[in-house]
């Protein structure tokens, strides 16, 4: 009788397990993609295609971290959307703020930034004195100024995402892990030598973190779809620089 009872209990357990959607009764491992957005099941190329698609479609994003390009390292903290962006850039030890609304680009920095530019250009004491008037004011960058092309790129969502989402070499799918409080799957180019991108497994498959190829910086992408105010500064907040702006 005892043996028969054990047999009936075993049969009951087997029947229950067979009816469960979630695995694990029989000792097998849980589905690593259960409860996720499902991109972890896709091929590396499809994961990249999907994450690029949702990133480009997002109305806004915050991008922060460091980028090394042509021997220069830039620290960024930019909030971006389709019609412009705002935030800070640090280059060569100096920090300045950028604001772009449509085609209108503005730069704001402290007196030290402008004084350094005057000294570097062999400016006179009068130029250094004028730097004080620029302290904390927005300066409109003319579209024909050489600095416009360089600086406006930091405020352009599509330009920055194109650079951020590019991995080099053969794509492979890495481990499922976490980035902060979010589950992610890693996508690598040439086993990491071509960059590593962490893609969200929760919600939309947004890119959340990029380690650039060749150790050229790490960028975090957050606040996807979160809107923010973007307006041109008023007359009291702006001042005319009066000559070609510096490039950094």
Model confidence pLDDT, tens digit, residues 41-51: 999 999 999 99
In eight-state DSSP terms, residue 173 is: E
Identify whether residues 149 and 76 lie together within a single domain.
yes
Pick 132 or 211 by higher pLDDT.
211
Cα–Cα distance measured from residue 54 to residue 182, given in angstroms and rounded to the nearest whole number:
17
Whole-model pTM? 0.80
Q: Is residue 139 part of a domain?
A: yes
To the nearest 10 degrees (0 to 180), the angle between helices 44-57 and 157-164 is: 170
pLDDT grade for 16, boundaries at 50, 70 and 90: very low
Q: How far is CA 48 from CA 25, 67, 166, in A?
A: 34, 21, 9
For residue 43, give its domain range.
39-57+162-222
Q: pLDDT tens for residues 84-119? A: 999 999 988 899 999 999 999 999 999 888 886 555
Q: What is the pLDDT of residue 28?
A: 53
Take residue 101 and report the two structure tokens written for it.
């609304």
Asked whether residue 245 is domain-assigned, the answer is no
**Are 186 and 100 found together in one domain?**
no
In contact, 188 and 160? CB cutoff 8 Å: no
Q: What confidence score (pLDDT) does residue 214 get?
A: 84
**How much of the chain, in percent, has pLDDT values that exceed 70?**
79
Q: 144 and 83 share a domain?
A: yes
**Which residue is associated with the tokens 């295609």?**
49
Residue ending a domain, among 111, 132, 157, is 157
b/e 46-59 (16+ beta carbons within 10 angstroms → b) = ebbebbbebbeebe
- CA-closest candidate to residue 236, choices 104, 110, 136: 136
Quick check: 238 and 139 in contact, CB under 8 A?
Answer: yes
The answer to the question of residue 199 being in a domain is: yes
pLDDT digits 0-9 by tens, 132-172: 788 889 999 999 898 898 899 999 999 999 988 889 999 99
53 found inside a domain: yes
The secondary structure of residue 225, as a DSSP letter, is: T
Q: Is 50 inside any structural domain?
A: yes
5 has a pLDDT exceeding 60:
no
Residue 28 within a domain: no
Chain centroid to CA 65: how far?
A: 8
Tell me, yes or no, whether 95 and 216 share the same domain: no
């Amino acid at each position: 009788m005892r043996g028969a009872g054990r047999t009936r209990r075993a049969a009951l357990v087997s029947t229950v397990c067979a009816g469960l959607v979630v695995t694990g009764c029989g000792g097998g491992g849980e589905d690593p993609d259960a409860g996720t957005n499902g991109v972890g099941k896709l091929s590396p190329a499809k994961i990249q295609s999907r994450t690029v698609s949702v990133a480009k479609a997002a109305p806004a994003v915050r991008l922060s971290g460091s980028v090394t390009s042509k021997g220069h390292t830039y620290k960024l903290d930019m909030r971006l959307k389709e019609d412009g962006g705002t935030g800070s850039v640090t280059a060569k030890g100096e920090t300045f703020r950028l604001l772009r609304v449509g085609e209108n680009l503005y730069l704001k920095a402290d007196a030290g930034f402008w004084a350094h530019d005057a000294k570097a250009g062999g400016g006179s004491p009068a130029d250094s004195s004028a730097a004080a008037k620029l302290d904390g004011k927005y300066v409109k960058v003319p579209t024909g100024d050489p600095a416009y092309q360089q600086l406006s790129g930091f405020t352009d969502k599509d330009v920055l995402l194109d650079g951020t989402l590019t991995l080099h070499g053969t794509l492979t799918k890495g481990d499922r892990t976490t980035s902060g409080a979010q589950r992610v799957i890693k996508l690598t180019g040439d086993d990491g030598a071509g960059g590593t991108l962490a893609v969200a497994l929760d919600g939309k498959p947004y890119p959340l973190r990029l380690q650039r190829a060749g150790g050229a910086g790490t960028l975090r992408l957050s606040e996807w779809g979160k809107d923010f105010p973007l307006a041109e500064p008023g007359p009291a907040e702006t001042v005319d620089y009066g000559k070609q702006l510096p490039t950094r």
